Structure 1
Amino acid sequence: MSFNFDRRTFLKGAGAVGAASLLAACGEKSNNTGNGAAASGAAAPNSTGATPLKEFISFESGNRELESWNMLYTQKAEDANVVTNLWDGLLSFDRYGKVVPAIASSWEHNEDATVWTFHLRDDVDWVDCNGEVKAHLTSKDFLVGFEWVMNAIKNEANNTSMPNDTIVGAYEYYALTKEAGDAAADMTYEDMLAAGVGIEAPDDYTLVFTCPSACPYFDTVAAYNSFYPVAPALIEELGVDGFRSCDNTTMWYNGPYVVEEYIQGNTKSYIPNPNYYDAANVSRFERFTVTMISDGSISLQLYQNRELDEVDLGESNITTIQSDPSNEYNQQLCEKRAKKFSYCFIFNYDKKNTDGTPDENWNKAIANKAFRQCFSKGMVLNKFFARYNPINPLKCENDFFTMKGLCYTSDGTDYTNLVAREMGLDGEAYDGKTMKRLRANNGDITELKKQAMEELSAIGVTFPVHCSYYILAGSTSALDSATVLKQCFTDSFGDDFIVLDVNTFVSSTMKEVVAPKLQSFVHMGWGADFGDPINFLTQIIVHDDNAYYSCNMTNIAGIVNNGPASYQKDLVAAYEKFTDLVNEGRAIVDDTDARYAAFAKAEAYFLDENLIFPTVYDITWCLTHVNEYSKINAMYGPCNYKAVNWETSEEAYTTEQYDAFAAAFDAATQA
């Protein structure tokens, strides 16, 4: 069977706009002279023999609408998940997470991995939103893109942390532009080269990067946003402010798709870029649509109506389907791979009340080590895990700030196992019954709680301490999860110690909650940007303007810079010690095993101080028409949501098929 536009009734017509309408929407042209075969897309074959889908409708939650279309500027996954379909960089990844060519067709490094050379394709063009060619891409576009990122006025320090660490002279050039002030807006890549930054273009299709020390993982770094190209003519056309705030109608594309239509908060529809350089080798959908779902309770209905081709299932739906053998979806429950994010409670150490005054009760409490350690040594989250995975909830347990599978020692040991050894969790595996960190700590916080209450009462803290947690207003699923989390607080701590207060925001967590510092914590995940622990750990150190969590979420950076209150001195001392430990690890560049061991020591110290509280890995169940084991599966970089080479089926996949996909994938990765 086949599905046409009437399956998109929920999308308010967004998916019913054809390619010709796209051209009318973005410019005056009324026809497309690009490659017809590329424009039509080509579905990937199906290993089960089923008919693949020509069009696909995916989803995103309502609180994850993108805020920036600029790959160089954004540091948010919800932005990159969209733009990765529109904008290619040097490298990409395959379904096993292996680095593969994109605009760079090949690359190599010198003996000590300090100089990396990338050879570019000569057939890459930039197109506008109509799919019409605007410029040819050369190595100069990467020089211009890199200068943009490292220019403090142009890119406002976004995405500079990795270049600062891995490219000769990058930090110095950033400091130079910062000192130059507004005049930096007129600086160009020639100024960057003259300043001695370690990037050069010997010819139109060669790029050379020089690292300050051995960097054997640099290819994983080069796949990140910081190293993406931009057409010089586009910046000339839009100006600095215009390019920084470009949208789907003003940006230029070099990726597999262009945006057909965008309705903020509703849908995004992509159609194939008719001039995509790799069209002959990449399968794409004739149309790929992302529907924003403000309330997860309607997702299953949309899937049943075929207004979605995949749906993540919540706890109640999974339980209903699993418990009824006659349910039409009982044999179609598919367990997904863990998403590449390590989720944590990111504590706010400088919380404000809604009137802007300091919330001293919370700030004093969270600055206390015994209070914080009650989370790691006593917080029972099994019911919360079940919101993600009610069938195998303890598979979701996360005990680390970094992510499993990020990197490995020379003998194949996962880096997080090193952290586990430092924390006394080594050998504690998933047993399906008890959280391993609670088994290690015995889950008894009676004495720790008593200590915290005595120490805090002495400095004026009143109990229970109220903990402010914000969710999207009107979202039933968010409210259900928050209700379960509130019960976890009660079950773990009683109502006389810490109480979770559930509050709401209208549309943007960052603007409405985090910017005014109203939260006690945000529940947020960090995904690796490249294959080394430093990209996690530098987000939480102090004395670094690029430390995303420290500067934006925990607000510890401001406390350190402005001077701590008396009750915060031990807190600041812990952050200072952690930062020193991270810097010791960062200085080790000639022995990867020693480097990882030093980082593991730093991370274990951070977690023992409970400066952030790790919570879950997102392992959900779904109903789906796509084999997710055919998707890009990198632990780092922005490419995982690129909708290319997906294996799909007009008939929903079964549990049995997904088990076979998982087994084949595991066998391939362990071979």
Structure 2
Amino acid sequence: MNTTKKLISLALSGAMCVSLAACGAGSESTTAEGATVYRTLYSSEVTTLNYLTTSLTNEYAIGANVVDCLVEYDSYGNIIPSLAESWESNDDMTEWTFHIRQGVKWVDKDGNEVADVTANDWVSTAQYVNDARNAADNQYMYSTGAVVKNAQAYYDYTAYLLTLETLGLATGENAVDDAGDPIEVVDPVDADSIGVKAVDDYTLVYTLDQPCPFFLSVLSYTSYMPVYGPFLEECGDQFGLDNENLLYNGAYILSSYLPQQERVLTKNQSYWDKDNVFIDEIRQTYNAEATNVSVSMYQSDEVDYAAVPSDLLDAMLADESTANLVHGSRPDVSFSYFYSFNFDPQFDEQYEPENWKLAVNNENFRKAIMAALDRVKALTVSEPYNPSDLLNNTITPANFAVGGGKDYTQYDALLSYTQGDSFDEAKAIEYRDAAKAELTAEGATFPVKVLMPYNPSTTNWDKECQVVEQQIEGLLGSDFIDIIVQAGPETGFLSAVRRGGDYALMKCNWGADYADPQTWTEPFVADNSYGFWDLSEDPETQALFAEYSAKVDEAKAIYDDDAARYTAFAEAEAMIIEHAIAIPFSVSAGDGYIISDLNPMEGEYAPYGVALQRYKYQHLSDTSVSMEEFETAYKEWEEARAQAIASTEE
């Protein structure tokens, strides 16, 4: 079998198909009984199967395959119908109506039909998730970006009741907590007032507090998955405890669930779209040493997937018997990494916070660091073979958001950054000299101390910091800048360091919540915990922040013209980069280097929600692909995706 040709032809033909997998199957591994079985190991057990409350990938990866959403995605990120056959919104996009697919069944772990899927199942979800008693980690999706009417108000009211119940108090004006502080009274809000209504069994309406052109993209989060209300009520606290306390309407049923032994996902024979489910069984076996043994087990044909540890990678690529099995993975653009300047330093006097305030508010100083940072060199620490694949030239990654028929990063305001490289030795020296003259006049002292902490529990972060320190100091001069690399706490790093402002310059990341550039503005707006730009006391920095905020508000107000909305957001984001408020760095490496018999370009694609965790549309091949084959297929996928995006606007 020529795997290269198979992957390339799939990627090219995919532009004309809803899914790559729909265009033809490859050679698949089967059991003696003829069933296609995909075998993997796992080393981290889930704490719950309750998809309505979890925001952990390890946990919702199961829910993603056993419960369908209103919408799903093709292999290029286009939204397509799932349990909603069609939908429409009102003119200002504050009311969204979904027409539910009829004939879809809820089944139990043995495949027995229990009930029909109806619009009421999403009402049950909304009322459950927004009840504070259920402690749903994903509840914020009803109030961030997309704001569902009365969802947060109901949550706040139930949180108030929960506080009183915990303290053994009755509602009233004079209730106080254990410290004697008064508990603020919250007016009653009824669950039925939440803006999620079943007009009839197959018509579902969401009412929002503000226009939301990207609302469809929040619907594949766990907090918007349906649940059969009577079953949920019957289970009570036992819901999601095991596979018997779940119902299924998705591509698979969790037919076996033995903690720290195995999980078996079996094809749902009652599934409404079972012709697009090509793997009959996913068998996941627990092994505490999965990372260490998966490669050898792949070679002995015991599993069909293995993550390649970094200490084995060089040897496997040099070995003819394994070199053609190892390949990279598609970069994960759901996270963006950037170096953040802290405008409100809260670190110790020994690191000279007042001197840092002078420096960080000087644009030429920030630009000098930005131009001096060789991001490719820094990325070789974690990605020695293809570091440029992870490079991110904008805050919003390429291949994330699409509007007006093109990728967001291709809009005019961002295009020069998308196609360029901020690393420029000559410019770095020019900015340094200008900054030194300006800062000297303001009374700053040199070298400027730059506290740059890292989390010691994150692999290779310390090494990356050392490379950055040596490279920037080597270019700008240690008489100008003194980068102080320091290990932060292994636990509570986020709260103590980033949120606590205990840094001068640090690599940060942000994860997207929905398919719109608005989600990437959140680290830079008022009251954020990234960089504290809004807290700067410098007049020029304050003016720049005000200008950026106004542009973001302008962009948010545009809901009926994707091109105009994206243009405005691109102009706002360009301000962040042009003035070096933050330095775009990279996207995530995804699964890293792997051996896998799954075609990596076939499945659903969306860098948010649960799409990337689903096995629907994927085929199982009889071998893995090489590095070269994967790179070729990935480039073809990018080209085909661009064509598919453009075709949606024709």
TM range (shorter): 0.7 to 0.9
Aligned-partner SS, 2:274: coil
Residues 576/58 of structure 1: CA separation in 2 closer, same or farther (3 Å cut): farther
- Superposition map of 1:503-652 within 5 A: 505=490, 525-538=509-522, 540-542=524-526, 550=528, 554=530, 556=532, 575=545, 577-619=547-589, 620-652=592-624
2:153 is matched with: 175
- The code of the aligned residue for 2:595 comes to L
State the number of aligned residues: 583
1:287 is matched with: 282
Residues 440/555 of structure 1: CA separation in 2 closer, same or farther (3 Å cut): closer
Q: Does structure 2 retain, via aligned residues, the 8 Å contact 1:262–1:269?
A: yes
Deviation at 1:627, TM superposition (A): 0.9
1:425 is matched with: 417
1:489 aligns with 2:469: yes
2:124 is matched with: 144
Q: Does structure 2 retain, via aligned residues, the 8 Å contact 1:159–1:225?
A: no
Q: Does structure 1 retain, via aligned residues, the 8 Å contact 2:393–2:417?
A: no
1:243-266 CA-to-partner distances (Å, cap 9, x unmatched) read: 8x9555685242424274465xx7
1:222-245 CA-to-partner distances (Å, cap 9, x unmatched) read: 333442223334553565xx48x9
1:392-433 CA-to-partner distances (Å, cap 9, x unmatched) read: 3223210212121233443x34211237x35853643xxxxx
In terms of mean alpha carbon deviation, does 154-163 or 277-286 score higher? 154-163
1:206 aligns with 2:200: no
1:104 is matched with: 84
2:29 is matched with: 51
Aligned equivalents of 1:297, 1:526: Cα separation in 2: 30
In terms of mean alpha carbon deviation, does 304-313 or 128-137 score higher? 128-137
Gaps of 5+ in 1: 1-42, 429-435, 544-549
1:334 aligns with 2:327: yes
Q: Does structure 2 retain, via aligned residues, the 8 Å contact 1:364–1:567?
A: no
Aligned-partner SS, 1:404: coil
Aligned equivalents of 1:246, 1:455: Cα separation in 2: 64
- Superposition map of 1:456-495 within 5 A: 458=444, 464-472=449-457, 478-479=459-460, 482-494=462-474
Deviation at 1:658, TM superposition (A): 3.9
Aligned-partner SS, 1:628: coil
Q: Does structure 2 retain, via aligned residues, the 8 Å contact 1:581–1:599?
A: yes
Q: Does structure 1 retain, via aligned residues, the 8 Å contact 2:601–2:637?
A: yes
Q: Given the alignment, which residue of 369, 372, 397 partners 2:391?
A: 397
Aligned equivalents of 2:372, 2:261: Cα separation in 1: 42
Residues 56/295 of structure 1: CA separation in 2 closer, same or farther (3 Å cut): closer
Aligned equivalents of 2:454, 2:448: Cα separation in 1: 17
Q: Given the alignment, which residue of 212, 235, 258 partners 2:254?
A: 258
Deviation at 1:470, TM superposition (A): 0.8
Residues 213/469 of structure 1: CA separation in 2 closer, same or farther (3 Å cut): closer
1:380 is matched with: 374
Residues 521/630 of structure 1: CA separation in 2 closer, same or farther (3 Å cut): farther
Aligned equivalents of 2:78, 2:577: Cα separation in 1: 30
In terms of mean alpha carbon deviation, does 530-539 or 213-222 score higher? 213-222
Q: Given the alignment, which residue of 41, 61, 64 partners 1:84?
A: 64
Deviation at 1:339, TM superposition (A): 1.9
Aligned-partner SS, 1:630: coil
- The code of the aligned residue for 2:334 comes to F
1:446 aligns with 2:428: no
Residues 257/537 of structure 1: CA separation in 2 closer, same or farther (3 Å cut): farther
Aligned equivalents of 1:56, 1:107: Cα separation in 2: 35
Aligned equivalents of 1:81, 1:585: Cα separation in 2: 34
- The code of the aligned residue for 1:230 comes to V
Q: Does structure 2 retain, via aligned residues, the 8 Å contact 1:312–1:622?
A: yes
1:344 is matched with: 337
Deviation at 1:630, TM superposition (A): 1.5
Q: Does structure 1 retain, via aligned residues, the 8 Å contact 2:368–2:427?
A: no
Residues 446/253 of structure 1: CA separation in 2 closer, same or farther (3 Å cut): farther
- The code of the aligned residue for 1:531 comes to A
1:630-649 CA-to-partner distances (Å, cap 9, x unmatched) read: 22222332221112332222
Aligned equivalents of 2:30, 2:493: Cα separation in 1: 38
Q: Does structure 1 retain, via aligned residues, the 8 Å contact 2:375–2:423?
A: no
Relative to the length of structure 2, the TM-score reads 0.72
- The code of the aligned residue for 1:120 comes to I
Residues 312/376 of structure 1: CA separation in 2 closer, same or farther (3 Å cut): farther
Deviation at 1:599, TM superposition (A): 0.7
Q: Does structure 2 retain, via aligned residues, the 8 Å contact 1:131–1:273?
A: no
Residues 570/332 of structure 1: CA separation in 2 closer, same or farther (3 Å cut): same
2:229 is matched with: 232
Q: Does structure 1 retain, via aligned residues, the 8 Å contact 2:132–2:156?
A: yes
1:27 is matched with: none
- Superposition map of 1:297-312 within 5 A: 300-301=295-296, 303-306=298-301, 308-312=303-307
Relative to the length of structure 1, the TM-score reads 0.71
Residues 161/657 of structure 1: CA separation in 2 closer, same or farther (3 Å cut): closer
Aligned equivalents of 1:207, 1:358: Cα separation in 2: 58
Gaps of 5+ in 2: 1-20, 166-185, 645-650
Q: Does structure 1 retain, via aligned residues, the 8 Å contact 2:70–2:81?
A: yes
Q: Does structure 2 retain, via aligned residues, the 8 Å contact 1:213–1:589?
A: no
Q: Does structure 2 retain, via aligned residues, the 8 Å contact 1:352–1:518?
A: yes
Aligned-partner SS, 1:236: helix
Residues 177/359 of structure 1: CA separation in 2 closer, same or farther (3 Å cut): farther
